[in-house]
Amino acid sequence: MFDLGWSELMMIGVVALIVVGPKDLPVMFRTIGRYTGKAKAMAREFSRAMEDAADEAGVKDISKSINAAANPKSFGTDKLREAAGLKSRAKTSAKTAAAGAASAAAPTSATATLAEDQAAKRARLREEAEARRIAAEAELAQLDAAEEEADDLAEADLEAEPISAPHPVEAAPHASRSDKS
C-alpha cells in the first residue's frame, strides 16, 4: 500500500524515538495500534454490510445468471460440433450445456422464490399490522365506553345524593352579620 521498506521504517522509528521520547513511545504505538484496529474493524463491518445488502438485492444471483449466459458452452455449440463430425466432444459438450442451462435456470427460480417469499412476508406483516390496529381501536372503544359509564354513574350518584343542611361553620358568618346590624 505505502511501499515502505525496512530502512524507511527504521528511520521513522528513530525520528519517533527522538521526537516522542523513550518513555512515551510504547504508549504512542499502543494508541496507534488501537486506532488502526478500530479502522480495520469499521472497514470490515462496512464491507460485510455492503455484501449483505448486495446479497439481499440478488446481485450474486444476477451475476451467476450473466456468467452462465455468457458461457459459450451453453449456447448450443454441441450441435455445431455434431454437424462438423466431432461426436466425442459433442456428448461432453451436451452434458456441459445441460449443466450450464440448469445453472442458468436455477438463479432465476431461486430469485423468483425469494421474491415470492418476501412478498408473502410483506403481506403477512401487513395483515398483522391491520389486526393490531383493529384490536387497538376495539380496546380504545371499550375504554371510551367504560369512561362514559363511569361518568354516568358519577352523575347519577351526585343527583341521588340528598341535600343536607349547611355546615355550622358556613352558617356562622351569616349569623354574625345579622347580629351586627
Nearest to 106 by CA among 58, 38, 144, 72: 58
Dump pLDDT digits (tens) for 109-160.
778 788 888 889 999 999 999 999 999 899 988 988 888 888 888 777 777 7
| Confidence tier at 78 by pLDDT (50, 70, 90) | low
What is the average pLDDT across 87-105?
51
> Is there a contact between 141 and 149 (Cβ–Cβ < 8 Å)?
no
pLDDT in tens, 45-76: 999 998 888 877 777 777 777 777 777 665 66
pLDDT of residue 38: 96
Q: What is the pLDDT of residue 88?
A: 47
At 34 the pLDDT is 96
**Is 50 exceeded by the pLDDT of residue 106?**
no
Residues sharing a CB contact under 8 Å with residue 107, sequence separation 6 or more, in sequence order: 61, 62, 64, 65, 68
Report how far residue 164's alpha carbon sits from residue 79's, in angstroms, rounded to the nearest whole number.
Answer: 112
Domain ranges of the chain: 1-52
Q: Which residue has the higher pLDDT, 172 or 145?
A: 145
Q: Which amino acid is at 59?
A: V
Look at 179 and 10; give whichever has higher pLDDT: 10
Mean pLDDT of the chain: 76
